[in-house]
Amino acid sequence: MTFFYKNVYINETATIAGPYEKKGPLHHYFDKSYDDLKMGENTWEDAESRILEESVDILLAKINKKRFDIDVFLSGDLMNQLTSSNYAASRLGIPYLGIYNACATSVEGLIIASNMIEAKQIKNAICSVSSHNNSAEKQFRYPVEYGGPKKKTTTFTTTGGASAYLSSEKSLIKVDSATIGTVIDMGIKDVYNMGAVMAPACASVLYKHLEETGRSLDYYDMVFSGDLGIYGKKILPEFMKLEYGLDLKNYDDTATMIFDVENQSVYAGGSGPACLPLVSYGYLFEKMKKKELKRILLIATGALMSTTMVNEKHTIPAIAHAISLEVNL
Amino acid sequence: MTFFYKNVYINETATIAGPYEKKGPLHHYFDKSYDDLKMGENTWEDAESRILEESVDILLAKINKKRFDIDVFLSGDLMNQLTSSNYAASRLGIPYLGIYNACATSVEGLIIASNMIEAKQIKNAICSVSSHNNSAEKQFRYPVEYGGPKKKTTTFTTTGGASAYLSSEKSLIKVDSATIGTVIDMGIKDVYNMGAVMAPACASVLYKHLEETGRSLDYYDMVFSGDLGIYGKKILPEFMKLEYGLDLKNYDDTATMIFDVENQSVYAGGSGPACLPLVSYGYLFEKMKKKELKRILLIATGALMSTTMVNEKHTIPAIAHAISLEVNL
Cα angle B265-B267-B270, degrees, rounded to a multiple of 5? 90
Which of B90, B100, B139 is opposite residue A98, by nearest beta carbon? B100
Per-residue pLDDT of chain B (329 residues; tens, 9 = 90+): 999 999 999 999 999 999 999 999 999 999 999 999 999 999 999 999 999 999 999 999 999 999 999 999 999 999 999 999 999 999 999 999 999 999 999 999 999 999 999 999 999 999 999 999 999 988 988 777 777 788 889 889 999 999 999 999 999 999 999 999 999 999 999 888 999 999 999 999 999 999 999 999 999 999 999 999 999 999 999 999 999 999 999 999 999 999 998 999 888 999 999 999 999 999 999 999 999 999 999 999 999 999 999 999 999 999 999 999 999 97
Alpha-carbon distance B136 to nearest alpha carbon in chain A (angstroms):
12
Classify A74 as helix, strand or coil: strand
Helices A194-213 and A229-244 pack at an angle, to 10 degrees, of: 40
Task: Check CB contact under 8 Å for B180 and A99.
Answer: no
How many beta carbons lie within 10 A of that of residue B242, not counting itself? Answer: 10
CB A90 within 8 A of CB A81: no
Contacts of B123 in chain A (CB under 8 A): none
Task: Check CB contact under 8 Å for A183 and B93.
Answer: yes
Which of B99, B306, B312 is opposite residue A80, by nearest beta carbon? B306
Residues 214-253 of A with CB under 8 A from B: none
Cα angle A51-A57-A61, degrees, rounded to a multiple of 5? 145
Which pLDDT belongs to residue A181? 98
Which pLDDT belongs to residue A93? 97
Which pLDDT belongs to residue B144? 76
Which pLDDT belongs to residue B151? 87
Q: How far is CA A229 from CA A142, A195, A199, B308, in A?
A: 21, 6, 10, 29
Which pLDDT belongs to residue B169? 98
The mean predicted confidence, pLDDT, of chain A is 96
- pLDDT tens readout for residues A148-199: 788 889 889 999 999 999 999 999 999 999 999 999 999 999 888 999 999 9
Whether the pLDDT of residue A5 is over 80: the answer is yes
Which pLDDT belongs to residue B148? 78
B175 burial level (CB within 10 Å; 0-12, 13-18, 19+): buried
Which comes out higher in pLDDT, residue A192 or A19? A19
Beta bridge partners of B14: B163
**Rounded distance between C-alpha atoms, residue A226 and residue A272, angstroms:** 9
Task: Check CB contact under 8 Å for A304 and B80.
Answer: no
Alpha-carbon distance A147 to nearest alpha carbon in chain B (angstroms):
22
Which of B92, B97, B184 is opposite residue A108, by nearest beta carbon? B97
- Reference A47, options A104, A105, A132; nearest CA is A132
Task: Check CB contact under 8 Å for A115 and B95.
Answer: no
- Record the pTM: 0.97
Q: Is the peptide bond before A227 cis (omega within 30 degrees of 0)?
A: yes
β-pairing, B173-179 vs A270-271, is: unpaired
H or E stretch at B15: strand B9-17
Report, in this order, helix, strand and coil percent for chain B, each rounded to 5. Answer: 40, 25, 35
pLDDT band per the 50, 70, 90 thresholds, residue A141: confident
All residues at 6 or more sequence positions from A169 whose CB lies less than 8 Å from its CB, including other chains: A9, A11
**Rounded distance between C-alpha atoms, residue A74 and residue B318, angstroms:** 16
**Rounded distance between C-alpha atoms, residue B277 and residue B283, angstroms:** 10
Whether the pLDDT of residue A10 is over 90: the answer is yes
Classify B118 as helix, strand or coil: helix
Which of A53, A96, A211 would best serve as a mutation to test chain B binding (most B beta carbons within 10 A)? A96
Task: Check CB contact under 8 Å for A96 and B100.
Answer: no
- Name all contacts of B39-47 with Cβ < 8 Å and 24+ positions apart: B42/A312, B43/A312, B44/B132, B44/B134, B44/B135, B44/B138, B45/A306, B45/A308, B45/A309, B45/A312, B45/B79, B45/B83, B45/B84, B45/B132, B45/B135, B46/A312, B46/B87, B47/B132, B47/B135
Alpha-carbon distance B15 to nearest alpha carbon in chain A (angstroms):
23
Phi and psi at residue A64, in whole multiples of 5°?
A: 55, 45
β-pairing, A9-17 vs A160-167, is: antiparallel
Beta bridge partners of A2: A179
Contacts of B304 in chain A (CB under 8 A): 81-83, 86, 90, 98
Which pLDDT belongs to residue A149? 80
Which pLDDT belongs to residue B141? 81
CB A206 within 8 A of CB A223: yes
Amino acid at A105: T
Which pLDDT belongs to residue A192? 87
Contacts of A185 in chain B (CB under 8 A): 90
CA A161 to centroid of chain Cα atoms: 10
Which pLDDT belongs to residue B150? 84
Whether the pLDDT of residue A68 is over 80: the answer is yes
A279 and chain B in contact, CB less than 8 A:
no
- pLDDT tens readout for residues B273-320: 999 999 999 999 999 999 999 999 999 999 999 999 999 999 999 999
Q: How far is CA B242 from CA A9, A14, A101, B179, in A?
A: 42, 40, 40, 22
Which comes out higher in pLDDT, residue B71 or A307? B71
- pLDDT tens readout for residues A112-136: 999 999 999 999 999 999 999 999 9
**Rounded distance between C-alpha atoms, residue B139 and residue A80, angstroms:** 10
Classify B177 as helix, strand or coil: strand
